[in-house]
């Protein structure tokens, strides 16, 4: 469900990899509603899965837009006052067990973490809603 007001059961926001990149680099591809929510919410999380995805895709030449932040992701996350979200065993277990045809392992991890930690996922990917995630865009 695309939301504008977060349900009371949501404890914060988890940024999809593209949302983190677009916010950190000031890219206008980030929706105005997503940008406003990120700026107005105290609990913003960036998953270790996003760090892995950014580094991997950049190394493979598939994510040139990350060049300005890729070499110091930890500093960027901390400068923006976001929290790092480590991957727990329970997150991996849930990600691997999720039913559905969406096969991207990075997305599956973000979905699992959003569900496990009751976080709204800031993403333009509507398919996340098929997994019961609250999506903000």
Report whether pLDDT(1) > 60. Answer: no
How far, in Å, CA of 63 to CA of 75, rounded? Answer: 19
Q: What is the pTM of this model?
A: 0.92
**Mean pLDDT, residues 97-103:** 91
54-86 pLDDT tens trace: 999 999 999 999 999 999 999 999 999 999 999
Q: Are 14 and 120 in contact (CB under 8 A)?
A: yes
Report whether pLDDT(12) > 80. Answer: yes
Start-to-end CA span in the chain (Å):
10
Of the pLDDT bands very low, low, confident and very high (cuts 50, 70, 90), residue 5 is low
Q: Are 117 and 14 in contact (CB under 8 A)?
A: yes
Report whether pLDDT(33) > 50. Answer: yes
**Mean pLDDT, residues 96-117:** 95
User: For residue 20, with 0-12 CB atoms within 10 Å meaning exposed, 13-18 middle and 19 or more buried, which class applies?
Assistant: buried
Report the DSSP pairing between strands 12-15 and 44-47.
parallel
Largest CA distance in the chain: 41
Of the pLDDT bands very low, low, confident and very high (cuts 50, 70, 90), residue 101 is confident
Please name each of the domains of the chain with its CATH number.
Answer: 2-136 (3.40.50.1010)
């Amino acid at each position: 469900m695309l939301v504008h007001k977060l349900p009371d059961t949501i404890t914060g926001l988890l940024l999809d990899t593209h949302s983190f990149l677009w916010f950190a680099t000031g890219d206008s591809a980030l929706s105005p509603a997503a940008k406003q929510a990120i700026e107005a919410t105290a609990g913003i999380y960036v998953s270790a899965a996003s760090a892995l995805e950014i580094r991997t895709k950049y190394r493979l030449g598939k994510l040139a837009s990350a060049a300005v932040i890729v070499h110091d992701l930890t500093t960027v996350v901390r400068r923006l006052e976001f929290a790092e979200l480590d991957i727990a065993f329970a997150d991996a277990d849930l990600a691997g067990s999720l039913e559905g045809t969406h096969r991207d392992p990075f997305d599956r991890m973000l979905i699992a973490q959003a569900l496990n930690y009751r976080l709204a996922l800031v993403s333009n990917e509507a398919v996340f809603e098929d997994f019961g995630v609250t999506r903000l865009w």
